Amino acid sequence: MSRSRRPQLSPEEAALVRLMSGGRLSRRGLLGGAGALGLGAVLAACGTTSPSGGATGTPLPATDISETDRVVKWASWTLYLDKDGTTKQYPTLKAFQNKTGIVPSYFEEIEDNDSYFGRIQAQLRQGQDIGRDVIVFTDWMAARVVNARWAQKLDKDKNIPNAARILDKLRNVDYDPGRNYSLTWQSGYTGLAWNVAKYRELTGKSEMKSLDDLWNPKLKGRISVLSEMRDTIGLIMLSQGVDPGKPFTADNFAAATAVLEKQISGGQIRQVKGNSYKEDLISGDSVAVMAWSGDVFQLNSEARSANLNLTSDPYGFALPESGGMLWSDNLLIPIGSPHKMNAEILMNYYYDPTVAAKVAAYVNYICPVKGAQEEIRKLPSVDIQIANSKYIFPTEEDLAGVHRFRSLTTREEKDYSNAFQQVLGS
């Protein structure tokens, strides 16, 4: 489903829903749903309301009843936890219950960051229980929740000692230095992907190395870029020698959007898309795209499963020589959750390398847990390409070549989002 169009909003509404700082919608998301954010939600996130409860105008954490109520409720995205296709159960989650005695409930109910936040923001603002003890938000939305003080501080020393296993690149984020309120669930790269056979047929090359390859006139009308601003603009900025993870100017941003506008208006870009770029790659409508790493890995895995005679992967993926983008989806405990300790025990369990390896074998995104690669190699019938993939188990050297899109100020978020949407024609 495409994430390329927002609901039509008034200028005032558009300004409000774009106020807060951010990163990227994750691989499963949609841009729709922003209109669900009310004035109160945005003002609260900006610190201009005074919810009852805390001394600073923020709600107090709920009383923890974990010891007497041994349950934990987890809201996440689809295809984001190992699942048995026959029993429809989650093996690692069942093992968690057997090990801890805590009864978990897992809900694949987050379709995108904005719409889910729109469902729960009023309760978060009041410090009420949203009926979920763990939620999974992408960096920019996690930043919104953490900055508004709507997530509970983690007791890592007592309940999450495995948090020390987090990859060094993920240990500090600008919205949560030291990871006191969040833990990475999965991460991924934004880079370039292509249909190997069709790309070779049109260009005579077998690999893509830079954004110049994407703008090759031989690919006119056969490429797609992502509808998430921080992915597409981030890659363009890197190609221009500007690190989007560091302070940059409005002129830097404008220079990147000018490139995008030129490629759209000139017909080089066929479409600006969300998740459906994968279907375009499969159909051949798009030969080369901006893409998310795990998606391409899954496409190749599915192709190998469907055709055991394949001698090479049909789709290529690479980070541009100028650098790729890095994003994360993060575990948070809502301020009103009455099962904080149970939620922390769940987080600790999934940061065990053995468990993290089982999740990585299914999800195929960057595993955030040190030691998981050694464990995945011990799993029966593991795909050796998954176990050895630098896109699932990157080295520190690999991670040195990718960048996060820095948090934006309120004014920047408004101006840059408006500029990007104007280029897209919305």
Q: Which helix (H) or strand (E) holds 138?
A: strand 134-138
How far is the first Cα of the chain from the last one, in angstroms, to the nearest whole number?
17
Instruction: Give 315-361 pLDDT, tens digit per residue.
Output: 999 999 999 999 999 999 999 999 999 999 999 999 999 999 999 99
Q: Which two tokens stand for residue 231?
A: 């992915």
Mean pLDDT of 394-420: 90
pLDDT greater at residue 211 or residue 31? 211
Q: Is the pTM of this model over 0.75?
A: yes
Give yes or no for residue 274 having a pLDDT over 90. Answer: no
* CA pair distance 356, 368, nearest whole angstrom: 8
Give yes or no for residue 36 having a pLDDT over 90. Answer: no
Q: What is the per-residue pLDDT for 408?
A: 86
Per the CB < 8 A criterion, the answer to whether 341 and 64 are in contact is: yes
Q: How far is CA 304 from CA 67, 279, 425, in A?
A: 47, 17, 38
Give yes or no for residue 31 having a pLDDT over 50. Answer: no
pLDDT greater at residue 10 or residue 66? 66
Per the CB < 8 A criterion, the answer to whether 197 and 286 are in contact is: no
Mean pLDDT of 14-38: 35
Per the CB < 8 A criterion, the answer to whether 233 and 403 are in contact is: no
| Listed residue (355, 361, 368, 351) closest to 384, CA to CA | 361
Q: What is the per-residue pLDDT for 10?
A: 32
Per the CB < 8 A criterion, the answer to whether 152 and 333 are in contact is: yes
Question: What are residue 296's phi and psi, to 5 degrees?
Answer: -70, -40
User: Is residue 253 exposed (0-12), middle (13-18) or buried (19+ Cβ within 10 Å)?
Assistant: buried
Give yes or no for residue 394 having a pLDDT over 50. Answer: yes
Give yes or no for residue 21 having a pLDDT over 50. Answer: no
Mean pLDDT of 158-172: 96
Dihedral sign, CA of 213, 216, 218, 222?
Answer: positive
Mean pLDDT of 210-230: 95
State the CB neighbour count (10 A cutoff) for residue 371: 16
* CA pair distance 289, 66, nearest whole angstrom: 46
Mean pLDDT of 36-53: 38
Instruction: Give 95-126 pLDDT, tens digit per residue.
Output: 999 999 999 999 999 988 888 999 999 999 99
Instruction: Give 277-322 pLDDT, tens digit per residue.
Output: 888 999 999 999 999 988 888 888 888 888 888 889 999 999 999 9
